[in-house]
Amino acid sequence: MKKGIFIVIDGNDGSGKATQTKLLEERLKKDGHKVLSVSFPDDKNNFIGKFIRECLNEDKYNWAKVHPKIASVLYGADRWESSALIRAHLEAGFIVLSDRYTSANQIHQGGKIEDERERDNFMLWLEYLEYKTFQIPRPDKTIYLNVPISISEKLLEKRYSSGGKLDAHEKEHDFLRNSKTTGDWLAEIEPNWVEIECAPTGTMRSEKEINDEIFEKVKDFLK
């Protein structure tokens, strides 16, 4: 049996997943915990992750329009490449933090499917793909960062105006909105998901405020 705990931080685009993962890692290490932090797609270490980044960065692939099952296989394969690393650290008692995971396929690829029954069937297919076929470790908890789509789009526009490059998904407003709708739905029905409202009054909370809430939730998990 695994000795560690596996926590995923996910959310809609612009929600600050990478920032919150880094802040949480720092706080957990300060408290004396052994922590491994991973991020997907892993375009630094994984062969498939590098290819996914190429797809996201080059318009010639029309990546946002790729069939959800085809895209999901690549994202799942990227996680499979990291699965031995994650499993070894869990067995060694580490807290493993992941910036996006299977939940990203659920949110973004599931958001491409309008029909409810078809989307439900896709979720079952995705479950089999990632956890049965690729046999990747299953998270203990998924923290879902919920940011209103109007704020999310403004944050992405700000990133672009300051010199950042939007990927194939971030350029597609319909894709962003559909992903947000699907993420909210999953947060309601998935038993191991915890939702964090990042802008409950219509104004984005500070990074510290959001991380304080995440940290309190994680401390409960560790108990």
DSSP string, 122-191: HHHHHHIIIIIIS-PPPPSEEEEEE--HHHHHHHHHHHHHTT----TTTT-HHHHHHHHHHHHHHHHH-T
In order of 41, 55, 176, the CA distances from 58 in angstroms are 15, 6, 18
Q: What is the pTM of this model?
A: 0.91
Residue 2: the pLDDT is 58
Cα separation of 19 and 198, whole Å? 13
Joined together, the tokens standing for residue 44 give 């630094």
Joined together, the tokens standing for residue 99 give 């910036």
Cα separation of 57 and 179, whole Å? 19
How confident is the chain (223 residues) per 10-residue block, as mean pLDDT?
A: 87 90 98 97 97 84 88 98 98 97 97 94 98 98 94 73 60 79 95 95 94 96 86
